[in-house]
Chains A and B, each alone.
Chain A
Amino acid sequence: MTARAAPAPLPPATTVGLQGWLRQNLFSSWGSSAVTIVLAVVLSWVVVNLGAWVFVEADWTVIISRVPLYIVGLYPYEGYWRLCICLLLISVLLGMSWRAWPNAARRFAFAFGVIMLFVGVFPHEMAPDHRALLLLNLPFIGLGYVLTPRPAETSPGRFEAMAGSALAPALERVAIFSTPRRMVIAALVALVLTMILILGIAGVPGLDPVNPQDLGGLMINLLLAFFGIVCSLPIGVGLALGRRSNLPILKVACVIFIEVIRGVPLITLLFMSRHILPLTFPEDLNIDRVYLAGITITIFSSAYMAENVRGGMAAVQAGQTEAAQALGLRGWQTTLLITLPQGLRNIIPAIVGQFISLFKDTSLVYFIGMLDLVEMGRVSVQGNQEFIDNGREVYLFIALVFWVFCFSMSFISRRIEGVLGVGRR
């Protein structure tokens, strides 16, 4: 045995602990001390006043009594169970993601479960069957988790190690989503089912069609943003490839499209879609404004997506293309197999960022008469004498809802960035 080394000297007390932290970060000089004190005074003044208003003066009955309006708009009450089923489908997908990409998706699945739990037990009027369906989300997240095999590169979790040998064969048998292809198919099936459940099918009992104009509230903001991003991804990739192509006509067409769309505010495009696009349709073709808004938002988003994709592909090192060429791959093979996949991987955080800003932008659809979350808020205040003075409560609530969604998404995006940073670049 060798002699034990002398204990390492401790850092001076002024650099550690609460005292050290305060000193280093808030009171490091006269100037910063002054700023700290002024800001502290202002902040506490704001917090005290706002807190007093939030907890004492404000009357939140308008929110509590109108929750369904804010969330789903005028969607018929008889169809609420269908929306609950959609949430269950999302839960299964989240459970699958949790299992397949634990680092990236775990918090997302967890947050979704917590929200569902909260909404399910929140004390306000709700039919018990809806409550039950909402609470079912938790087991459904677990279901998705169990249906997906553990990725080869991760080690078994604590629970799994405990249950271990006894359950392992059973777990393996039920893990049906064992390839990326099966997971993609599951996601697509869930997507189609969701659309069918939300809009209904004529003639199928229980699935009465819903007037698209009755879709509203937070649901329409999320739906428009989600479909906008999902549809604009392939279009954006096409535009980006067109812009990189050697065919002058294709290239010019793509550049013009991208630059024109990016140079016009979304609100203008929405007005054009409502008032000008229909002029170009045959007279008896009556496309609902919900779809017009969806198409417009997709087009809008595609132009930005194209630029993101182009940037992501440009960031792929030249050596990648050279290696592919040296191996004899053709130009298009190099693009599809090497540059594009790496480019898309580079822009995952940018896509999430675009989703966030698109989600916020969808509140503009109220200008063309749709009942999104913001418009529902306005209606619930101005359409009702009883709540005419509760505007502050309503808009604060709406801001909070947007913030919670956007903040959690950017948080998750940063996690994904971290995950992509290791191992696979």
Chain B
Amino acid sequence: MAETNGVQAAVDIPADKAEILARPLEERDDIVVCENVHKWFGDFCAVRDVSMRVKRGEVVVIFGPSGSGKSTFIRMINRLEEHQQGRIVIDGIEMTNDVRNLDAIRREVGMVFQQFNLFPHITVLGNITLAPQRVRHMPRSEAEALAMQLLERVGIPEQAQKYPAELSGGQQQRVAIARALAMQPQIMLFDEPTSALDPEMIKEVLDAMRELAATGMTMLCVTHEMGFAREVADRMAFFDEGALVELGPPDQIFNNPQEDRTKLFLDQIL
């Protein structure tokens, strides 16, 4: 789509990111490394033996049937779920029980949820400035300036003083994106960010995500918006029954899937 180029031109990309983006994917370093990761709930194996490397600035779309372990997998990347076997390394930091590592990783990784999970008792501005002030110890004025800048970027600066419940679903999700970005993460996780939205609001959220991808953010998105995937994803990962079945560029997934299960699933949803 032509729009991507337009967006790319409109946003200003930090110099270090621009330098990375200039390099082809193969020559960038791995920012997320998962090796033989497993996760059980009781006896039930929700994620089995998943290995995946994500390059800096890469956009990976994760899809697959309900219950296939997509959410569980990306929640392990910021330790909302603990992996029980295998290895996860985020930007060189090993995921262990060490609190310092965990703090460092959570600072690197931002997350956007299906249900937005904004804090209903504080204003939009308060939602965005909370973590920068409390975790990064940013002075309030600076945090607020940053928040306004981010709200500008997602297109709703006029909503700053409202409470989340006063906003539409699409606006809430954009606030949630701004809130995650305020921590200046290196990686953004999206768990079905548009599934709880009415159709007319999906586009505004996807646009914000497109813009983010264009700035060179590393993104792992669980989504079934195949148009978005085709256009923005560098690679797509198909999960089924807890396993990573197929991982490849959108062109391969859509036009020439290597696995029968991928083809079957795509036939069902397209």
A residues adjacent to B (C-beta < 8 A): 317, 319-320, 322-329, 333, 337-338, 341-342, 345, 423-425
* Contact, CB under 8 Å: B134 / A342: no
Further 16 A-B residue pairs, CB within 8 A, beyond A317-B117, A319-B115: A317-B115, A323-B113, A323-B176, A326-B80, A326-B106, A326-B109, A327-B183, A328-B103, A328-B106, A329-B131, A329-B134, A329-B135, A337-B130, A337-B134, A338-B119, A424-B163
- Please tell me if B231 contacts chain A, counting CB pairs below 8 Å: no
Contact of A322 among B80, B110, B118, B131 (CB under 8 A): B80
Counting contact residues on chain B (CB < 8 A from A), the size range is 20 to 34
B79 neighbours in A (Cβ, 8 Å): 325
0 or 1 for each of B131-148: is its CB under 8 Å from A? (1 = yes): 100110000000000000
* Contact, CB under 8 Å: A327 / B180: yes
* Contact, CB under 8 Å: B120 / A327: no
Cα separation A425 to B121 with both chains bound (whole Å): 8
Some 28 contacts from A to B, beta carbons below 8 A apart, are A317-B115, A317-B117, A319-B113, A319-B115, A319-B117, A320-B117, A320-B119, A322-B117, A323-B119, A326-B80, A326-B106, A326-B109, A327-B131, A327-B179, A328-B106, A328-B107, A329-B130, A333-B134, A337-B130, A338-B119, A341-B121, A342-B120, A423-B163, A423-B165, A424-B121, A424-B163, A425-B120, A425-B165
Closest 10 CB pairs of A and B: A323-B117, A327-B131, A319-B117, A328-B106, A326-B111, A328-B135, A425-B120, A424-B163, A341-B121, A328-B107
A328 neighbours in B (Cβ, 8 Å): 103, 106-107, 131, 135, 183
B107 neighbours in A (Cβ, 8 Å): 328
Smallest CB separation, A339 vs chain B (Å): 10
B residues adjacent to A (C-beta < 8 A): 78-80, 103, 106-107, 109-111, 113, 115, 117-121, 130-131, 134-135, 163, 165-166, 176, 179-180, 183
Closest chain B residue, CB of each to CB of A341: B121
Contact of B180 among A319, A320, A326, A342 (CB under 8 A): A326
Smallest CB separation, A159 vs chain B (Å): 27
A324 neighbours in B (Cβ, 8 Å): 119
Cα separation A173 to B60 with both chains bound (whole Å): 58
A329 neighbours in B (Cβ, 8 Å): 130-131, 134-135
